[in-house]
Chain A
């Protein structure tokens, strides 16, 4: 298990859990919840935030927010 922020570009992983926080709840509402697969698309030009693809949506998360999500390899 690792943090979402550590996932390399192009890699796809599965969400295991999320730390409790307001941002955490928002992430669930936007489709990031345990069992969902998520892939890291790219880092922004100045390295933060990071773009992830979940289902058909592209989300932008800051590194500190991606830190709240724990993932595992599929």
Chain B
């Protein structure tokens, strides 16, 4: 028996109020990098990690980071996960089914020491499960700063469970937690901390496990409590299925009584429980000094100020997007000259032909021009990290709630929207904290309009190539402001779309906005580093996989087929020129440039005849109204799987369109030199301000991201919504791009 027991995995669940520090503890124990940030609702789906302890090397532990919740009666999808984890494991009570791996062995409940009563409320609900439980009294550093002391021994005595004080982000107190986990068999199962009134208790007894003849089809106490108090909840359904006879009548009768006595059924659970818990909290808390005005209060009086608050918010947004552009510049130039040098070096090593073209034009020209944007990605996530860790984000929600509500969203949409500036995928996941289904859906539908970091590369290239630099007031400049304008465009369109949907398909009142404003904390370097490194490696991984793959396809389609006639015509012409120049010694320079012209012509002709050239010419008329030639058309279309590909495609196409010795040099330079192949504009530059803006507007609004559509499908559990997003965004992108092109031209640029 003992061998079997020690070799199995010990299952642990981490529960607690939002923002209490669960993920911090999870990361400490597992060494994983689960996202930690200073606002409620960071973790929205249960994550599992494994670890082992030096005290107990043979045992493997598996720990679930449960999304934070205030109670087990769930209101939003992320909260329901917590209930499922706990009740789900109770469902399959250890003693009843043969599979011990399915039940929890240990629960860690994390309490925020400054808000003890609230944490105890959840603890009391969890304790009903009767699982061995350890209480982590976390954030005692903040409590101390507020002159609050919690007597951990006394608390442990009252609730009958081990309690440890901790400062999780510094690792303080967590060694003792490890010891306790290593000896988890000695931890007592939690016992009920609260007795309900006699009517409720006798109901729980009557239908509880011990009194039920048919043991396998009975409900545990916590599940029964949920069945009683959560009208139309999942537990109620099970209760009615299991207990026929008069159970339904009895349930309704008791509910009726309770609702009358407490003026609301939910309060029949909540009031007595809250009262008991606040009494416990009072017994163990002592105030060590007078309450001081905390730093948070002082900061709040500025950042939430009537007049300064919104201005500061606006200022922060402008600064973030400006610095993405200005700070990254030197680093990007460095990477740019690095990749160009590598390209030139490899080019000189490999003989001319398909292989050289694949490496220089395809891989380096394509993927290389995407990697340049690494610095911008890093800067963006650095700022997001600062904002998330400091605790400013919920304040921003507080400020904008009124405005967001006006367009059908809620202040809680702010964090998902802001995250979408980094990437729509975490942004859409973050909407799980929104309780109202309708507002959540609305947020999901407009989140992809926020300019994500994958759009930055194309903005950056086109802005620095075609928007003339002009400085205003010393701090602002035309290029930075154009970038801000593109971000603003996405937001404005999001408002319009949201208002339209609100007035038509998604009508309804806006719902609850009860939200906590957490204490301000100094961001930790480690926390920011985690975020930056995760996103940087994700970016590089994308460059190495999706973008790489699409680039190779694009290269092959633009390299093949090669026409032997063109090549031999070129060869004879070159031979002629060389003969002539050999005859007349004085025109050496002239013949070199003649050959260069010819080689450019050959390359251009080859590209035109390639598969991609033919496709591009066929499609060109569709995008001609936007000012695009066939190369831009192909580049934009190739970017539908992932936006950054556009840069890679432009890099490849322009490399292939050039003759030998001209493939080095930055993409910016190549775009500036690009000319129309044929038609009435032949020989004139393709790009000007109007074309650049038309292309950027298209990218700002178009749904060019397979992963985002997949996430929308998953989160809405429907194929209709991703199809809807794709259609409306692509249509809007085309129309807006057409409008922008004509407007800028009419303005005379």
Residues of chain B contacted by A57 (CB below 8 angstroms) = 114-115, 118, 516
Residues of chain A contacted by B309 (CB below 8 angstroms) = 44-45
Given contacts A31-B118, A45-B304, contact A56 B516 (CB under 8 A): no
Residue of A nearest to B301 (CB): A42
With A and B bound together, what is the CA distance between A30 and B515 in angstroms? 9
Distance (Å) between the CB of A42 and the closest chain B CB? Answer: 6
Residue of A nearest to B265 (CB): A20
Residue of A nearest to B273 (CB): A28
With A and B bound together, what is the CA distance between A36 and B277 in angstroms? 13
On chain B, the number of residues with a Cβ less than 8 Å from chain A's Cβ atoms is 47
Distance (Å) between the CB of A16 and the closest chain B CB? Answer: 11
Q: Are A55 and B271 in contact (CB under 8 A)?
A: no
Residue of A nearest to B411 (CB): A49
On chain A, the number of residues with a Cβ less than 8 Å from chain B's Cβ atoms is 38
Q: Does A7 contact B (CB under 8 A)?
A: no
How would you classify the secondary structure of chain B's contact residues: helix, strand, loop or mixed? helix
A24, A51, A55: most-surrounded residue (chain B CB, <10 A): A55
Given contacts A45-B399, A46-B399, contact A23 B271 (CB under 8 A): no
User: Of the candidates B115, B259, B267, B306, which one forms a contact with A18 in the assembled complex, judged by CB atoms under 8 Å apart?
Assistant: B267
Q: Does B148 contact A (CB under 8 A)?
A: yes
With A and B bound together, what is the CA distance between A29 and B266 in angstroms? 11
Given contacts A51-B517, A61-B513, contact A44 B270 (CB under 8 A): no
Residues of A1-52 whose CB lies within 8 A of B? 17-31, 33-36, 41-49, 51
Q: Does B402 contact A (CB under 8 A)?
A: yes
Total A-B contacts with CB atoms under 8 angstroms apart: 131
Residues of chain A contacted by B115 (CB below 8 angstroms) = 31, 55-57
Given contacts A30-B70, A42-B304, A60-B517, contact A55 B264 (CB under 8 A): no
Distance (Å) between the CB of A74 and the closest chain B CB? Answer: 16
Distance (Å) between the CB of B86 and the closest chain A CB? Answer: 16
Residue of A nearest to B148 (CB): A56
Residues of chain A contacted by B513 (CB below 8 angstroms) = 49, 60-62, 65
Q: Are B401 and A58 in contact (CB under 8 A)?
A: no
Q: Does B305 contact A (CB under 8 A)?
A: yes
Q: Are B516 and A28 in contact (CB under 8 A)?
A: no
A23, A41, A48, A49: most-surrounded residue (chain B CB, <10 A): A49
With A and B bound together, what is the CA distance between A57 and B296 in angstroms? 11
Residue of B nearest to A21 (CB): B264
Q: Does B307 contact A (CB under 8 A)?
A: yes
With A and B bound together, what is the CA distance between A25 and B494 in angstroms? 33
Q: Are B517 and A58 in contact (CB under 8 A)?
A: yes
Distance (Å) between the CB of A7 and the closest chain B CB? Answer: 17
Q: Does B274 contact A (CB under 8 A)?
A: yes
With A and B bound together, what is the CA distance between A22 and B304 in angstroms? 28
Distance (Å) between the CB of B114 and the closest chain A CB? Answer: 4
User: Of the candidates B263, B310, B397, which one forms a contact with A45 in the assembled complex, judged by CB atoms under 8 Å apart?
Assistant: B310
User: Of the candidates B122, B270, B398, which one forms a contact with A60 in the assembled complex, judged by CB atoms under 8 Å apart?
Assistant: B398
Distance (Å) between the CB of A39 and the closest chain B CB? Answer: 12
Q: Are B265 and A33 in contact (CB under 8 A)?
A: no
Q: Are B514 and A60 in contact (CB under 8 A)?
A: yes
Residues of chain B contacted by A36 (CB below 8 angstroms) = 278
Q: Does B521 contact A (CB under 8 A)?
A: no
Given contacts A22-B512, A42-B304, contact A56 B114 (CB under 8 A): yes
Q: Are B516 and A26 in contact (CB under 8 A)?
A: no
User: Of the candidates A19, A33, A48, which one forms a contact with B271 in the assembled complex, judged by CB atoms under 8 Å apart?
Assistant: A33
Residues of chain A contacted by B143 (CB below 8 angstroms) = 56
Residues of B95-119 whose CB lies within 8 A of A? 114-115, 117-118
Q: Are A27 and B304 in contact (CB under 8 A)?
A: no
With A and B bound together, what is the CA distance between A21 and B401 in angstroms? 21
Q: Are B304 and A44 in contact (CB under 8 A)?
A: yes
Distance (Å) between the CB of A4 and the closest chain B CB? Answer: 12
Distance (Å) between the CB of B295 and the closest chain A CB? Answer: 13
Contacts A20-B266, A22-B75, A45-B306 supplied; 10 other A-B pairs, CB < 8 Å:
A21-B264, A25-B270, A30-B70, A31-B274, A44-B398, A44-B402, A46-B403, A55-B117, A56-B114, A56-B148
Q: Could you list 9 A-B pairs, sorted by A, with CB under 8 Å? A: A25-B264, A25-B270, A29-B122, A55-B115, A56-B143, A56-B146, A58-B517, A60-B401, A62-B513
Residues of B in contact with A (beta carbons under 8 Å apart):
70-71, 73, 75, 114-115, 117-118, 121-122, 143, 146, 148, 259, 263-267, 270-271, 274-275, 278, 296, 300-301, 304-307, 309-310, 394, 397-399, 401-403, 411, 512-517
